[in-house]
Amino acid sequence: MAQTAPEVPAPKRVVSMNLCTDQLAMLLAGPGQLVSVSALSADPLVSLMADQARGYPLNHAHAEEIYLLKPDLVLAGSYTARSSTEMLRRLGIRVETLPPANSLSEISAGIAVMGALLGREAEARAVNDSFTADLAAITPPARRLGASYDANGYSVGRETLSGDVMRKAGLELVPDRLGLHYGGPLALEALVMAAPGVVVTGTRYDNPSRAEEILDHPALARLGASRIAIPDRDWICGLPQITRAAAELARLP
């Protein structure tokens, strides 16, 4: 008779030290299971769940402070400080690292992984079912040309999360036409010559910078494109709420 692997009990004290794992964990964790999230998740400029995050003790991704919380699971991202995660592992703490989502399909995978780590598989399936339904409800008009345009003229391509969202909303991306599938700096002249019908910009911060001055160039205004600002927090992380940005973009003519 084949033996089945023993079930691993769900962790009881979970600490997240990454903005994206913070928010996924807050979506799925059971009552009292999540004991701390990173301070970044309480910043409304980058977090969709800032209000909820303020209800948790906040950490600054330092190994010492996290160890004192006595977690049985620590959640980290690919770019979390390796010195902290390695020290926690040396101290006998279980650390799981989740990669960032670079596409809509990877969001579903990330939700499922988080559900398995927390022992909340049923909750993860419910979130994924709702996410899938929300995506299916997005019906963009005829495909049109678009581009994101941010500080220093940076524009995303299809091999990025925000680029995939824009494509789901019915946009063909200017950088893809130029072979910039992962995105990169796009000369203003190239953007103007492409004549996109939609231009997507990001968050403008209170302290202006020279890097953002390009967004105020009169050539952009003369393009005649539909222009929309999508806050950075809406698609920094692979969260099911990203469908709001896709739906908003799909409604543009």
Indicate whether 4 pLDDT > 90: no
Task: Give the CA-trace dihedral at 115, 120, 122, 124, to 10 degrees.
Answer: -30
Q: For the whole model, what pTM was predicted? A: 0.91
Question: Of 134, 167, 187, which closes a domain?
Answer: 134
What pairs with residue 37 in β-bridges?
58
Q: What is the pLDDT of residue 80?
A: 86
* Confidence class for position 234, pLDDT limits 50, 70, 90: very high
Digit-coded pLDDT (tens) for 56-110: 999 999 999 999 999 999 999 998 888 999 999 999 999 999 999 999 999 999 9
pLDDT band, very low/low/confident/very high, at 253 (cuts 50, 70, 90): confident
DSSP 8-state class, residue 150: -
Query: For residue 163, what are the CA distances in angstroms to 16, 25, 146, 174?
Result: 27, 25, 10, 11
Is residue 166's pLDDT more than 70? yes
Same domain, 93 and 187: no
Position 251 confidence tier, pLDDT thresholds 50, 70, 90: very high
- 159-196 as b/e: b if 16+ CB within 10 A: ebbbbbbbbbbbbbbbbbeeebeebeebeeebbeebeb
Q: Mark whether 128 and 207 lie in a shared domain.
A: no
Range of the domain at 198: 144-250
- 30 to 36, 49, 74, 193: CA distances (angstroms): 13, 16, 15, 52
Asked whether the predicted pLDDT for residue 208 surpasses 80, the reply is no
For residues 217 and 162, membership in a common domain is answered with: yes
